[in-house]
Structure 1
Amino acid sequence: MGPAQHLNSSDFLLIIAGSGRILAESACKAGLKALVIDLYADLDTREYAFEVCRLPSLAIEEVAPVLDGLVGRYGVGRAVYGSGVEPYPETLDYLDRRMTLLGNAPAVFRRLQDKAAFFAVLADLRIPFPAVSFVAPDSDGGGWLVKPMQGQGGLGIRRYSSGLADRGVYWQKFQAGTPGSVLFLADTHKACVVGFHTQFHADLSAGLEFAFSGLINHAILSAGQKVQLAGWLSQCARAFGLKGLNTLDFIQDGERIYGLEINPRPSASMQCYGELLTCHIAACQGALPEALPAQKGFAGFRIVYADRDLRIPEGLVWPEWVMDRPEVGALCHAGQPVCSVISRRSDPERVEAELAARQQQIFNRLIKV
């Protein structure tokens, strides 16, 4: 974008995430100049951001020099992080030392990644969850899953097979039911619900059968279940000191709900609502909103994963309902995300049907390698 001579350092916001598009879009709508560090630098992120820096990873050795350069050029003093930082807590430490971190502190982030401590807190709060183990089960019978301690988006979750040597993982009993999540704002003492969701998952390959592939901001929950979940959120806000936007993932099996994990940062679900970044910043500063942005109808999105090696063809005109668009000529290997499709309609069934149709349209437009 344009030069920065006439802008104040307070106009800028640093965003660091695997994909910074959603946060950059929200920052743009809030009147902020987004400086993005991410792994894709896709066309939409470039459109919304003031500057984008694409890195091969979010490890501190990659991030630190780029971050220092952005601070030197723009004087940026505030930062928000999104999905993708889970394997790199040292990067969050560095970010926290260099500027004001608008989000959960690194210590809170680490505590939630310490699954033994996390589930111990849930047990103390009497929040039910599927059984967990921190040593390998004696056999693969009984429907155990292997989950990474520092996971994101369902990647790395697989069915347990005895005899495999695993490090940095824990084991959890498979629980049948409908996967869901709830997006919420917290101020370290209490929480307010933004919305309940039904999640979609994709079976990409062996070992990638639980990959997160989108959601809709609609969930078939009773009034009592919504009250129950809202109560859990305020309990967790106090127990962990949560602030800003967070999500709780859960499984609904009939009348029972089981907590799975808390993602202590803004999630992709925020794109289903109005501009929420301003609310996130205010909540991080101790002020929950009196009212949330008005929501009409329903919204959902799907991540389109390549079902084979695909190349983005020359002259491709992307429909307006496509987000996270890669560059022309980009190669997307089987199992990798290509883009996202979004739908907003008056009823949830139309949203789900439209997402499926739009996903197929994208496949039809792309070139098999």
Structure 2
Amino acid sequence: MAEGLVAAGFRADAADCFGDADTLAVVDRWHGCGAEDGLALSPSRLLTVLAELAREGGVRGWIAGSGFEGRADLLAQGAALLPLLGNGAAAVQRVRSPASFYGRLAALGIAHPPIRVEPPQEAGWLAKDAWSSGGWQVRRHDPRRPSAAAGGGRYFQREQAGTPMSALFVADGRRARVLGFTRQLVRALGRRPMIHRGCIGPIAVADAVAEALRAIADALTAEFDLRGVNGIDFLLDRGAVSLLELNPRPVASIGVLAAAVDGGPMGAHVAALTEGRLPSTARVPSGVVQGCEAVFARRALRLGPELAERLASLPWCHDRPAAGTAFTWGDPVCSISASGADVEAVEHALRRQRRALTDLMEQ
């Protein structure tokens, strides 16, 4: 998000758990907000940073990324300190309450896989948590084993066939403008069957599919008072759209869809929040397809200076951690990017780069 804001002509500070090299290179200041025990967000540190920025003055507001899915209370506390440029706590709470959210989808006539809040008695269901992100809490439901009690963000969604896709849109509370479509890169990581790795786009879809997603984005915007950039995850199966979930915040595809509008998605986000203005149209894809993918640690490791220097020399390696950073198995280490004429070419390039990084980290 910070890179997108700076590219749109804004100055930005960043507050997160990572402080990667790419972020540090573009922001005015970085504020560490990680908890002591790992890469999780520390609410108290975040609120302290927001309070300090408010006291200093000159900051227009703050934009929440991932990590707030089950923390509408934290969004509200932060918004009380410094203006929140994004969906407020009430909207996020509604979107992240499975029974009511999918109930509203049904009322709006938006197709989605069947969901339940109580454990099904048969296989073929995914156990999910609306209060998490990235697929980390997704498991295939085994009716022979006890499941966690229903409540909070936990629910069960029928597993369906289809290509995992995403639609990026910007909203003003009444209307939406779809900026583009991406293919989601979803693969297993250990016992986690559906980890979101990245995305490839822009992807051209049939006119009927594009029109269906535009109508869905408009309906969701009006129903949930959505503002700024949001993402719709859906399955596409032989031209049929089935909505998986709504992410009421900027999502990973803002990078690969940066050319969709003047100022990029983050520029459109700020314009929608501060001026109530939507871009007139999104650009037709140019024919160049881009992809990004997170790379995860396959063992416990500490990033030494030599490896950090090697990563810095690779133009397709991003979100690079500082030397000395420690990782456990499954932690995100960095990301990679590639471009090509089509999805297959980008997938091939990402696969080659991922293997090269894995080999480096195993040395």
- Determine if the alignment matches structure 1 residue 306 to structure 2 residue 297: yes
1:35 corresponds to which residue? 13
Give how far 1:187 is off: 1.2
- Of 58, 73, 76, which aligns to 2:59? 76
Pair 85,165 (structure 1): closer, same or farther in 2 beyond 3 Å: closer
Q: Which amino acid aligns with 1:48?
A: V
1:280 corresponds to which residue? 269
What SS does the corresponding residue of 1:79 show, helix, strand or coil? coil
1:332 corresponds to which residue? 327
Judge conservation of contact 1:311–1:367 (CA < 8 Å) in 2. Answer: no
Judge conservation of contact 1:185–1:245 (CA < 8 Å) in 2. Answer: yes
What SS does the corresponding residue of 1:65 show, helix, strand or coil? helix
Mean CA deviation greater in 77-86 or 245-254: 77-86
Give how far 1:83 is off: 1.4
- Of 150, 158, 161, which aligns to 2:131? 150
CA deviations over 1:272-327 (Å, ceiling 9, x no partner): 12332221111223211124467531111111112222332322322111111011
C-alpha distance in 1 between matches for 2:147 and 2:343: 41
C-alpha distance in 2 between matches for 1:94 and 1:87: 14
CA deviations over 1:29-66 (Å, ceiling 9, x no partner): 12322121111111111111111112224343232122
Give how far 1:211 is off: 0.9
What SS does the corresponding residue of 1:69 show, helix, strand or coil? helix
- Determine if the alignment matches structure 1 residue 45 to structure 2 residue 23: yes
Q: TM-score when scaled to structure 1?
A: 0.88
- Determine if the alignment matches structure 1 residue 90 to structure 2 residue 73: yes
Mean CA deviation greater in 105-114 or 277-286: 277-286
Judge conservation of contact 1:59–1:88 (CA < 8 Å) in 2. Answer: no
CA deviations over 1:249-293 (Å, ceiling 9, x no partner): 001122322101110111111011233222111122321112446
1:6 corresponds to which residue? none
CA deviations over 1:200-239 (Å, ceiling 9, x no partner): 1121122x21110011014463221121111111111111
Give how far 1:142 is off: 3.3
Matches within 5 A, 1:165-244: 165-166=148-149, 167-168=151-152, 169-206=154-191, 208-219=192-203, 221-244=205-228
2:337 corresponds to which residue? 342
Give how far 1:160 is off: 1.1
CA deviations over 1:311-355 (Å, ceiling 9, x no partner): 323223221111110112322221111111011223322211111
Aligned length: 343
Q: Which amino acid aligns with 1:290?
A: S
Structure 1, gaps ≥5 residues long: 1-22
1:321 corresponds to which residue? 316
What SS does the corresponding residue of 1:80 show, helix, strand or coil? coil
C-alpha distance in 2 between matches for 1:310 and 1:358: 19
Q: Percent identity?
A: 31
Mean CA deviation greater in 288-297 or 208-217: 288-297
Matches within 5 A, 1:108-119: 108-119=91-102
Q: TM-score when scaled to structure 2?
A: 0.89
1:25 corresponds to which residue? 3
Q: Which amino acid aligns with 2:248?
A: P
Give how far 1:121 is off: 1.0
C-alpha distance in 1 between matches for 2:148 and 2:175: 41
C-alpha distance in 1 between matches for 2:74 and 2:88: 12
What SS does the corresponding residue of 2:277 show, helix, strand or coil? coil
What SS does the corresponding residue of 2:12 show, helix, strand or coil? strand
Structure 2, gaps ≥5 residues long: none
- Determine if the alignment matches structure 1 residue 123 to structure 2 residue 106: yes
